[in-house]
Amino acid sequence: MKFGYFDDTRKEYVITSPKTPLPWINYLGSESFFSLVSNTCGGYSFYKDAKLLRLTRYRYNNVPYDSNGHYYYIKDGDTIWNPGWMPSKTELDTYCCRHGLGYSVFEASKNGLSAVLTDFVPVGASCEVNKLTLTNMSKGLKEIDLFSYVEFCLWNAMDDMTNFQRNFSTGEVEVHGSEIYHKTEYRERRNHYAVFAVNAPIDGFDTDRDTFLGAYGENSAPAVVVNGKSGDSVASGWAPVGSHHLKITLQPGESRDLIFVLGYVENKPEEKWVGLNQINRAPALALLEKFNTVEKADAALAELASYWENLLSHFSVSSEEKKLDRMVNIWHQYQCMVTFNMSRSASYFESGIGRGMGFRDSCQDLLGFVHLIPDRARERILDIAATQFEDGSAYHQYQPLTKKGNADIGSGFNDDPLWLIAATATYIKETGDYTILDERTPYDNDDSKATDFMEHLRRSFLYTVTHLGSHKLPLIGRADWNDCLNLNCFSEEPGESFQTFGPSEGPVAESIFIAGMFVRYGKDYVTICRHRGLEEEAVEAEKAIAAMEKAVIEAGWDGEWFMRAYDAHGDKVGSKDCEEGKIFIEPQGFCVMAEIGKDQGLCQKSMESVEKYLDTKYGIVLLQPCYTKYHVELGEITSYPGGYKENAGIFCHNNPWISIAETVIGRGDRAWQVYTRTCPAYLEEISEVHRTEPYVYSQMIAGKDAPNFGEAKNSWLTGTAAWTFLNVSQFILGIRPDYDGLMIDPCIPKNLKGFEVARTFRGIDYHIEVLNPEHVEKGIAKLIVDGKEVSGNTIPFDSNMVGKSVHVTAVMG
């Protein structure tokens, strides 16, 4: 069952019913100011940091779903309705929501009145703009009352939800004409405030929530709206809100446009005030001036469209497979950008208060993002590295506002250091910029301990070398990629954090997944060393990599697949000897990507085992058989019911690892099958089962052991976005940046006749035509660059061609 459709021309997903299985959201913003908006106008806004600078409230896990947002109430006679259906939930005559790239449009009508709400965050401005167009489609006069509404958050979202003994006494506002200022805590330690304004004279306002809603009132029918008259309330303590009241008269066929702006403003400490408790409104007025007419708002929307058009032009594909084109050209890359901006912090599922930016997460996000804005990728890599410790380990998370490590979570996740090598190698392959290695970069944000960035990579590599267990495999620490496999936790008390309970130093549990990572990304480290002229170091690194490969084959191969780990007792995890959890997805993907045992046939056997034991129609499950009892020696992974999350759920994040691994052994048909089984565009027809948005990836799909097999959760902010784009663009389509040039190495289903790709790489526009006349799955028989045949499958980078176009024909065979 579908709840909408793709409009590829407009690059939109059009939702035709407000009653989607879950809120289907969009992200607005690309720099510092962000808003989340659902298909019913639910959501919230923040500046840079969803925890520390939250502008508006959103009620997670509430009933009904999607409570609180950026609402407009229309009172037409006795009928009250909203353009996004919520929160009044009045049955509408027509409805659609169009989620586009950085904007959303809500089109609705009721009783001969049409409302079109366009919602976006402009490029280069710290605000959200709402353009509301009301049109009288009836034959009679329309006299309506319009009420805007936002509920302000008291900045720190965690404190806002918990510290009521303080927060019920701190709310402060100022009202100046059509401008409502949320200045809570501005008198003391804050230099910022929020402004909510409309570009028209108003007939009333409210800033006190209790007045607006009424005693025991609720958002679905606020007292002020029901009565058709604002209270002109000024919040003093309690909960501040922002609401404008406009009386609007429309002749038959007449339209009225209004521009509402919700903005964030900062003042210098010495410029905070213009009088006693009178805030300096000058920067707010300058901000509002930019969008105070329809023409200015439309121009800003056009600029936003150009911004995204330019970003997405760096990579596009044209093929006979339109769903592939749709995802690669629009939604994959869009989700990669959103995930880069948000990491794992702010969504319908993530409250924005606990996770901040993940060290591992943000490094992985770069894999799918670096080709879009390399300069920002470079900046992000250096920000991440600055949270590293001197021994090469790292804070597992950091806050985006402060860029400081999160001490509450701490370190000890032993795969983290290697992800820094992965991200850096990806950046250098894309840009050819080795100067990043010379950047002075601190440890734990202490500039007195700064070294060049190359030293950070060295310590990342050596951290694994110096943290090996009895099988010569890497120690897992608190956890590796799978944060829920906690081999050193041993928690038996409810409420303890599996990730932070127990020691992070000293335990002997080992990870074969990290071993696969070390081999794969260690090879990149060797290449970087050689480019720096560090031949002796490169040779030593190669010896360590060879020793790790040997250890994996001798201690990590289980006969048909790679084992997952050794626990703290030295017992096998992910082995045929185990009662439950005999085979895991992670080591199969990474050990095969690292080509460990490829010549001995181990990679082929591993992939055959994945297909035999882990495959389902909705994707590859994380493990089998699922755990049916709690194993204290394994931790959180065994705490979930079978088929959910890490306990045999379909983790979409690591399905691309298997697809990439299949390209390593040349099985294009299988790589394609794995790709399509979790790709949203191929799941649109089962939206009632899948439930999350059909235009973006989710973190997890319930596995075959779950009663709700096929149901997705935790959409948008997931490493699945970057990994899947990496998979489809660089390994299936095979257009892969390398240190010395652009590699053409497709691995496709044999029935695909070919495709065309436009790819900007280091300032050169490549137009690549791939032909598959022999219907093979992998292999380039001929590579022609601007009419000249080139040996091999890599186009050497030629700086003389920067700014020019290059035509490439690759013939598979």
Q: Annotated catalytic sites, by residue?
A: 483
CA angle at 689 for the pair 683 and 690, rounded to the nearest 5°: 50
- Among 548, 518, 667, smallest CA distance to 603 is for 667
Polymer length in residues for the chain = 813
Helix axis angle, 294-312 relative to 332-342, nearest 10°?
Answer: 110
Tokens representing 30 are 């690309």
Tokens representing 728 are 């489809």
Is residue 108 classed as helix, strand or coil in its secondary structure? strand
DSSP structure class, residue 641: P
CB under 8 Å to 811, separation ≥6 — which residues?
771, 773, 780, 781, 782, 783, 784
Give residue 802's identity as a one-letter amino acid code: V
Which H or E run includes 312? helix 294-312
Strand partners for 765: 760, 805
What CA–CA distance (Å, rounded) separates 222 from 147? 10
Q: Estimate the share of the chain in helix, then strand, then coil, as percent rounded to the nearest 5.
A: 30, 30, 40
CA 592 to chain centroid, in Å, comes to 26
Strand partners for 315: 759
What CA–CA distance (Å, rounded) separates 756 from 770? 6
What CA–CA distance (Å, rounded) separates 14 from 107? 11
CB of 337 within 8 A of CB of 310?
no
What CA–CA distance (Å, rounded) separates 104 from 727? 29
DSSP structure class, residue 638: G
What CA–CA distance (Å, rounded) separates 83 from 119? 12
Sign, Cα dihedral of 378, 384, 387, 390: negative
- Tell which phi-psi region holds residue 609, choosing left (phi > 0), alpha (psi between -120 and 50) or beta: alpha
* Exposure b/e, 245-262, CB count within 10 A at least 16 = b: bbebebeeeeebbbbbbb
Q: What is the CA radius of gyration of the chain?
A: 28
* Exposure b/e, 323-334, CB count within 10 A at least 16 = b: bbbbbbbbbbbb
End-to-end Cα distance, the chain = 41
CB of 15 within 8 A of CB of 24?
yes
Strand partners for 394: 388
| Whether the bond into 625 is cis, omega within 30 of 0 | yes
DSSP structure class, residue 396: S
What CA–CA distance (Å, rounded) separates 455 from 443? 11
Tokens representing 734 are 């095979």
Tokens representing 62 are 């509430």
Is residue 559 classed as helix, strand or coil in its secondary structure? coil
